[in-house]
Chain A
Amino acid sequence: MRSFAGCSGFCASVSSIVFAALVLFAVACGGSSALTAKSLQQQRDAITSAAAEGALLAEQVADDETTEPFARIHSGELADQAKAAAQTLTKARAPAALEAKRREAAADARSTFVALEELHRAPDDQAVARRVEAELEQLAK
């Protein structure tokens, strides 16, 4: 099939894919695995955030004020956030001064993940939700 005169239009679209691929590559590249005080704090913030948001969601489930698909999907997203923090913290190499804090943060990340996973597996169980809410509120402090 002979291309039409507007091939340059479609060639512009092809080069768009190349560019977009480069953007995707930039987006996908992660950071390094050596822990600094700043990156430790960032992981901490991520854990607190996931826990606090999870507590909000759990409260909605406990009060039967939300839908099952929403609770299931969103708790899964939050669990993934906690899991990512847990993996980063577990694998990271920390200087001696930060080692204790790293271990503590990794433990909190794992507990947060476990609680959110529970909610994810029982997204319309009010009793589970109430318990998870209390756990997550503790972890969010």
Chain B
Amino acid sequence: MKKVFEIALGILAAIGGFVDIGDIVFNTAAGALFQYQLLWAVVIGVGAIVTYSEMCGRVAVVSQRAAFDAVRERLGFGVGLLALVAGQLVNLLTLAAEIGGIALALQLVAGLPFRVLLVIAVLALGLAIWAMPFEWIERVFGYIGLALLVFAVGAIKLHPDWGGVASGFVPHADTGDLAVYLFFVVGLLGAATVPYEVYFYSSGAIEERWTPKDLGINKANAIIGYSLGGLLSFALMITAAELFYPREISPETLGSVALGANVPLGELGLLLGLIGILFAVSGAAIDTAFAGAYNLAQFFGWEWGKYRTAVEAPRFTLAWMVMLVLGFVIVVTGVDPIQVTEYSVIFSVVALPATYVPILLVANDRAYMGNYANGRIANVFGIFYLAVILVVAVAAIPLMIISNMGQG
């Protein structure tokens, strides 16, 4: 019974923790531009992250090696270092976008000046990471992030055309601008599979001292948790499809997203929506800062982990602090966080194969994994999604240019 409770708690945290600023931006924009037509892209993205999260969680538990350990071990020093630098650039951009998103959400709640809120956001994040144990961080931000469910309630209340919604799960493009459509396919996939998620998830398995006994929890978290988290993405897209598409509104700011909770559900909907966004994006920011610190530490062999004290893992500690400061510096220059989000997601997609290939290789290595190596199902899904990711990674930058960043 206790085990079921534990699994349920983990799933709740995974649902609330699934959505980040990239998902929010791309799902809302996709719904406003293409109504329900891109729901299928979210499904593929969720499938990919479920498959690879389960895989790298399993690898971490069985081998006690996190995802970036695998990158250096499998790809060697040179290629591994390139993967590290590319990964860190992407992580930094993503973190900047998230910090900006936090400040935007705070501004919509409290109305204070943006730059002041940026400082508050970074200090609050730093304090949360410093003071809270790892499990608490995940749970607090994951559970309160569940407030995003208000978008699901709102979407239903807006009486969508359920037939249209259903047809959105079948890939089809009923549009004049194919380049923009494909750009959003890339963006939605990229937003669902951002690299920091797998790095964080695999290091998190070691942080939480999972043993092979906990592999069931790992599977449940990944499969059920992230799939249900995908529902939140659907909700954002359907809300935008109902509210913005018919009025030809192009959502440009986080305020537009929040309007999607305000219109169907009034003031309470607005506040829950903003709180959900605030905590989901804050959780994502912490995960991203950690992912950056994990990657550095794992590549260079430093001691790492929140389960160590700061004096036991000082370079790791300094690494996440520096990441937060650098993320802040990027956003405080006045660049639009929504635009940074879009660039960070697209560049993440390009870096994705360097993340997923080593995981697939290691998960198949029987010397490493023993009986826990990939079975046929894991490999079928793993190879399928890797193929999808490779295609998308190659197409991302050309599509970004041809579609003019989705503007057409």
* A and B are interacting partners: yes
A residues contacting B by CB (< 8 A) are: 4-6, 8-10, 12-13, 15-17, 19-20, 23-24, 27-28, 42, 45-46, 48-49, 52-53, 56-57, 60, 65-70, 72-74, 77-78, 81, 140
CA distance A91 to B114 in the complex (A): 29
- Taking a contact as CB atoms under 8 Å apart, the answer to whether A68 and B250 are in contact is no
Residue B329 CB within 8 A of the other chain: yes
In the complex with contacts A16-B88, A66-B267, A77-B255 CB distance below 8 A:
yes
A49 to chain B, nearest CB (A): 4
B272 partner residues in chain A, CB cutoff 8 A:
none
- Mark contacts of B237-258 with chain A using CB atoms, 8 A cut-off: 1 yes-contact digit, 0 otherwise: 0000001100111111101101
- Taking a contact as CB atoms under 8 Å apart, the answer to whether A70 and B335 are in contact is no
| A-side interface mostly | helix
CA distance A45 to B243 in the complex (A): 16
- Taking a contact as CB atoms under 8 Å apart, the answer to whether B296 and A20 are in contact is no
- Taking a contact as CB atoms under 8 Å apart, the answer to whether A9 and B248 are in contact is no
B151 to chain A, nearest CB (A): 16
Closest 10 CB pairs of A and B: A69-B111, A74-B255, A52-B247, A65-B266, A49-B250, A9-B296, A53-B249, A77-B253, A16-B92, A16-B89
- Mark contacts of B96-120 with chain A using CB atoms, 8 A cut-off: 1 yes-contact digit, 0 otherwise: 1000000000011111000000000
- B255 contact from A8, A15, A46, A70, Cβ within 8 A: A70
- Taking a contact as CB atoms under 8 Å apart, the answer to whether A72 and B407 are in contact is no
Residue B259 CB within 8 A of the other chain: yes
- Taking a contact as CB atoms under 8 Å apart, the answer to whether B300 and A73 are in contact is no
- B339 contact from A12, A27, A57, Cβ within 8 A: A27
- A17 contact from B109, B326, B407, Cβ within 8 A: B326
CA distance A7 to B319 in the complex (A): 11
CA distance A105 to B50 in the complex (A): 48
- Taking a contact as CB atoms under 8 Å apart, the answer to whether A60 and B263 are in contact is yes
